[in-house]
Amino acid sequence: MTRPIVITGGGTGGHIFPMTAIAEALQSLGEAPDELRYVGSQRGQEGRLLGDGPIALTLLPGRGIRRSLHPQALAQNVGAVVGLVAGLLRAVVLVGRWRPRVVVSVGGYASFPVSAAAVLWRRPLVLVDLDATPPATHRLLQRFAALRCVAIGTPSSRTVVTGAPVRDAVAAIDRSEVARQQAKAAFEPAIEEGRTVIVVMTGSLGASSVNRSVLGVAGLWRERTDITIIHVTGRRDEAWVREQAPTTAGLDYRIVAFADMVPLWQVADVALCRAGATTTAELTAIGLGAILVPLPGAPGDHQGENARALARAGAAMVLPDNELTPEKLAATLSFALQEPLHTEMAQSAKSLGTPDAARAIARSVREVAA
């Protein structure tokens, strides 16, 4: 049996897409699909997003710990701990059977069982820190890691600064003016020439506070004939967003639950997003300015740190979640679309991009595995 390179993480698309990017990069460097293996969570989206590909996928029990003292949260956390122990026990058996050349963790609660099992079996562990602040799993295990690949930080003997990985399809997006106009014309249905495109994307589940404010903006702008809003609501909120969507007279307002972001990033003039690592990595890789609304209460305020890093470089504007109103959001979007700010934000975003991050990580992983 081939000793695989195991890539683990998940729970959300923000972890799954970097797993895919690293796997693509490893294959480009000569690793065959049967020499790689994904491990994720039964409760996450890994089964849907990774299950049909050529790389074997193993799903373990478990769920994330809720950071709340509410009785319901405490009860759910008891179940989470039970699931975590069950996942760890199974991971210990699997890692002992596979004897992987290296385990690569991108974080998320789904990464803990296999990462911990790698430590127990003395298999090399590489931690990929996607955010400005390492996740709890990585803070716990970093002393045992052979190497850390960090998106932001300072290099050392066991730390290499690589940037955050993006998928090949994202890195290949052509956002030249000609390509963008062609993409708008080819979009289904086509986007009228002369319309400015705002893409809203707050994750696979969505962000209700952002979705409510975007609905309000659509109402305020219902007669605008120069704007297209593509509103990716997330699967959790799609039904009520559609139900409450205003009737528009001139505004091109499109609602989708979730989508491959590649064609949307291709046509976007500005983005409205949370500030997760994958999102900020993709925005900088393609050079797209954004309004960032960091997730309040994110562990270690990692989304706030990500957003502020882009804002300091002039690549984004930060709008706190607790300050969101339709009126303020509309004013912020209008400001961000003014020239020369709009062009300057895109240029600054591009200057921060590390489109080759996945290959840099893959090279480091192979060196550890050698």
For the segment 227-248, what is each residue's pLDDT rounded down to a tens digit?
999 999 988 899 999 999 999 9
Residue 41: per-residue pLDDT: 85
Give dist(CA 338, CA 63) in Å, integer: 43
- In sequence order, the β-bridge partners of residue 232 are 201, 256
Supply 212's token pair: 């409510």
DSSP-derived secondary structure for 185-199: HHSSSPPPTT-EEEE
- Tens-digit pLDDT string for the chain (370 aa): 579 999 998 766 678 889 999 999 999 999 999 999 999 888 767 767 777 789 999 998 865 555 554 555 555 545 555 667 888 899 999 999 999 999 999 988 888 999 999 999 999 999 999 887 788 889 999 999 999 999 877 888 899 999 888 888 999 999 999 999 999 999 999 999 999 999 999 987 788 999 999 999 999 999 999 999 999 998 889 999 999 999 999 999 999 998 889 999 999 999 999 998 889 999 999 999 999 999 997 777 889 988 998 999 999 999 999 999 999 999 999 999 999 999 999 999 999 888 889 999 999 999 999 6
Q: Assess whether the previous peptide bond of 134 is cis (omega < 30° from 0).
A: no
* All structural domains of the chain: 5-166+355-369 (3.40.50.2000), 169-352 (3.40.50.2000)
- Condensed to tens digits (0 to 9), the pLDDT of residues 255-277 reads 999 888 999 999 999 999 999 88
- For 71-96, how does the pLDDT look when each residue is reduced to its tens digit (9 = 90+)? 555 555 455 556 678 888 999 999 99
The torsion angle over the Cα atoms of residues 346, 351, 354 and 355, rounded to 10 degrees, is 50
pTM over 0.75: yes
